[in-house]
Structure 1
Amino acid sequence: MTGGSHYTEMRRKRGITMTDTSHLPTLVTGGSGFVGSHIVRQLAAQGRKVRVLMRKTSNQEAISGLPVEIVYGDVLDPDSLRVATKGCGTVFYSVVDPRFWLTDTTPIYRNNVDGLVNAMDVALECGIQRFIFTSTMGTLGINPDGPVTEDIPFNWLDRAPPYIRARLEAENRFLAYCRDKGLPGVAMCIANTYGPDDYGPTPHNHALWEVASGKMPINFDVGQPTVDIRDAAQAALLAERHGRVGERYIIANEYVRNRDFFTMATEMCGKKPPLFLPYRLSYALAWAIEGVMKLLRRKDYLVSTDAVFLSDVFGELDSAKARRELGWNPRPLRETVRDAIAWFSEREGKH
């Protein structure tokens, strides 16, 4: 039985039928974050009724002025999840704890795994019709012989740091809920996101601005799959309409080496490209710094061998499945870089 037909049979046994839910409120968890806020923006632009679950301590700047209903709560609090989910047709789950640098990894697992499980349990309880999960390219397998597809199983657990292990556990739980419990879910394995309206800001997107404006004269000669944040959000909305239940889709556009990526950015700002350190030298420096931090008993340091490894672990990702089944068509990387730089430049001028 295929994933879609298995899901249909599960829903039939539970007495749940698929209906058009576009008139119902739509819940976005993690709506103050980079991906979540762009999903909120696009839903609001379509005239949808949008409900956002967020902590009272969250920065609301990314969705300020948008016609949304805010429910204060936490995915680790099932009662607040029930309040937020009740009456909704779709859940866009975009909560992620990206703090790979934490020495104590307990929060990484609680926020990335336990919170998702709570949300899925409540979604089933409330009869949600669609559950769109923001996953990561970090759950994909490595293919040294060509582009990565969704069919390649995860094959680097021995090298995966705790953050990746937590995200992998979360996605595995998600797929099991779709397969065994009838969760109407679709997963998106999203590449590194770049673009405007990054109020966090996210470290890699802000690094683009730091390099482009001449504030970061040294960088690593590594490569990465990229995607425009607006295209990632669009993929989520397309997945709601066209995604097959129990499937995951690679949401990635162009693969680029930092040498080309940052040279493009500095040229747009009339600055000199940074000095690029070879990967092996970068790894050796990170190893030395990491050793010093451990001797000093420091915690939560950003520079680590794990960080350098993850910055160059993936080559090209194949998004053909998302393009074919979702009708997804991302914009050129140059447009993403241009708009990101313009937004950061304007924001810095205001502050």
Structure 2
Amino acid sequence: MGKQLVIGASGFLGSHVTRRLVERGEDVRVLIRRTSSTRGIDGLPVERHYGDIFDGDAVRAAVAGCDVVYYCVVDARAWLRDATPLWRTNVEGLHRVLDVVAGVELQRFVFTSSIATIGIAAHGKATEELPNNWLDRAGEYVRTRVAAENLVLRYHRERGLPAVAMCVSNTYGSGDWLPTPHGGLVAAAVRGKLPFYIDGAQAEVVGVRDAADALILAGERGTPGERYIISERFMTAREIYRTACAAVGVEPPRIGVPIQALAAAAVPSAWLARIRRTDTRLTPLSIRLMHVMSPMNHTKAERELGWRPAPTTEALAEAAEFFVGARRRPAEDRS
């Protein structure tokens, strides 16, 4: 392939896409903000362009001469009381980028979507054929993700953009510097700071390197206009923390709080947050998102892209080792 552009290379998944491309010997360019942390890509031989997704000139300059664009920008703060930042980044900013790339000859535009855009299956596992059918209880974050994916696919239908939508689940692995919301819980568990697990919480999961590989495969052979589920397996919260803690030899959280009890506690938590005009991660919506979705079938990605993910248990072990190591690392090395 020719030159590859990663938009959002400073993020967890974007940094891994960048690194995997470099490891393959590709010619890689990144578009990042000057204020973004670059710990995930420091030392990599990539061409850096600076700007954000609302800067049309910066996007045009970054896209020029590229064959494939990997779009890895997302605001995942599902707990925000005011969803304006979510809509601005996840939909409005994306729209600005699509207006630019729709006028460029590209081989692929690989869009990082979410498994939240997939519907809930009445029976068995959900597939890409099932559109989201639970928006009435999904919250604004999921609404922005569905709107963003629909926008990308509309640009494919109406303007011929060779876009592929990658419906990625919760990613785990090393290099989760921020960390992600789900990674932060693993970090707390392996550091002995998570007093309990939520009994009934469950999620689709995937190793971040495998997710990055799936995006790169889509850049080579993904069918424009198609969605691909990028998830390796379905795990309970207890399984996730037990796997991570075992990898670093610490005791996992032993107390399981029923998800119904936590949902009840979330009601006054959300009420107090509204009164104080602050954000809280403990809301009825955040608890609902921990168990609402169906297990998913990722065989389409295997069949059409040649994707072969490793067991996510391995990625959880890597995440655990990373979080423990990051805690021990001197402060000057983390700056």
TM over 0.5: yes
Aligned residues of 1:214 and 1:266 also touching (Cα < 8 A): no
State the distance in 2 between where 1:224 and 1:266 align.
18
By how many angstroms is 1:80 displaced?
Answer: 1.1
Residue of structure 1 in register with 2:291 after alignment: 312
What residue identity is the alignment partner of 2:222?
A: G
State the distance in 2 between where 1:65 and 1:259 align.
36
1:101-116 matches, cutoff 5 A: 101-116=79-94
Residue of structure 2 in register with 1:267 after alignment: 246
Deviation by residue 1:105-160 (Cα, 9 ceiling, x = unmatched) = 11211111111122122112222221000000111101142211011121111111
List runs of 5+ in structure 1 lacking aligned partners: 1-21
Deviation by residue 1:297-322 (Cα, 9 ceiling, x = unmatched) = 32222211111111111231100100
What residue identity is the alignment partner of 2:306?
A: G
Work out which of the residue numbers 277, 280, 290 in structure 1 matches 2:260.
280
By how many angstroms is 1:233 displaced?
Answer: 0.1
What is the SS of the residue equivalent to 2:294? coil
What residue identity is the alignment partner of 1:191?
A: S
Work out which of the residue numbers 5, 22, 27 in structure 2 matches 1:49.
27
1:60-209 matches, cutoff 5 A: 60-209=38-187
By how many angstroms is 1:196 displaced?
Answer: 0.7
Q: Do residues 291 (structure 1) and 271 (structure 2) align?
A: yes
Residue of structure 2 in register with 1:212 after alignment: 190
Aligned residues of 1:82 and 1:122 also touching (Cα < 8 A): yes
Work out which of the residue numbers 13, 27, 30 in structure 1 matches 2:8.
30
Aligned residues of 1:93 and 1:134 also touching (Cα < 8 A): yes
- CA distance 1:144–1:266, change in 2 (3 Å): farther
Work out which of the residue numbers 32, 37, 40 in structure 2 matches 1:59.
37
Aligned residues of 1:223 and 1:312 also touching (Cα < 8 A): yes
State the distance in 2 between where 1:312 and 1:77 align.
38
By how many angstroms is 1:180 displaced?
Answer: 1.3
By how many angstroms is 1:90 displaced?
Answer: 0.8
Residue of structure 1 in register with 2:321 after alignment: 342
By how many angstroms is 1:192 displaced?
Answer: 0.5
By how many angstroms is 1:242 displaced?
Answer: 1.4
Aligned residues of 2:243 and 2:317 also touching (Cα < 8 A): no
Residue of structure 2 in register with 1:8 after alignment: none
Give me the TM-score of the superposition, normalised by structure 1: 0.91
Work out which of the residue numbers 306, 328, 331 in structure 2 matches 1:327.
306
Identity %: 43
Q: Do residues 231 (structure 1) and 210 (structure 2) align?
A: yes
State the distance in 2 between where 1:225 and 1:155 align.
18
By how many angstroms is 1:271 displaced?
Answer: 2.9
What residue identity is the alignment partner of 2:170?
A: N
What is the SS of the residue equivalent to 1:201? coil
Aligned residues of 1:89 and 1:129 also touching (Cα < 8 A): yes
Give me the TM-score of the superposition, normalised by structure 2: 0.95
State the distance in 1 between where 2:134 and 2:189 align.
31
What is the SS of the residue equivalent to 1:303? coil
- CA distance 1:214–1:144, change in 2 (3 Å): farther
State the distance in 1 between where 2:240 and 2:10 align.
27
What is the SS of the residue equivalent to 1:312? coil
Deviation by residue 1:16-55 (Cα, 9 ceiling, x = unmatched) = xxxxxx13x2110000001100000011111111111111
Aligned residues of 1:29 and 1:91 also touching (Cα < 8 A): yes
By how many angstroms is 1:348 displaced?
Answer: 1.6
State the distance in 2 between where 1:186 and 1:94 align.
13
**Larger CA deviation: 35-44 vs 273-282:** 273-282
**Larger CA deviation: 163-172 vs 97-106:** 97-106
What residue identity is the alignment partner of 1:151?
A: E
Which 4+ stretches in 1 moved above 4 angstroms? none
State the distance in 1 between where 2:155 and 2:224 align.
11
What residue identity is the alignment partner of 2:116?
A: G
By how many angstroms is 1:79 displaced?
Answer: 1.4
What is the SS of the residue equivalent to 1:112? helix
State the distance in 1 between where 2:91 and 2:140 align.
12
By how many angstroms is 1:325 displaced?
Answer: 0.5
Deviation by residue 1:170-207 (Cα, 9 ceiling, x = unmatched) = 00011111111100011100000111111221121121
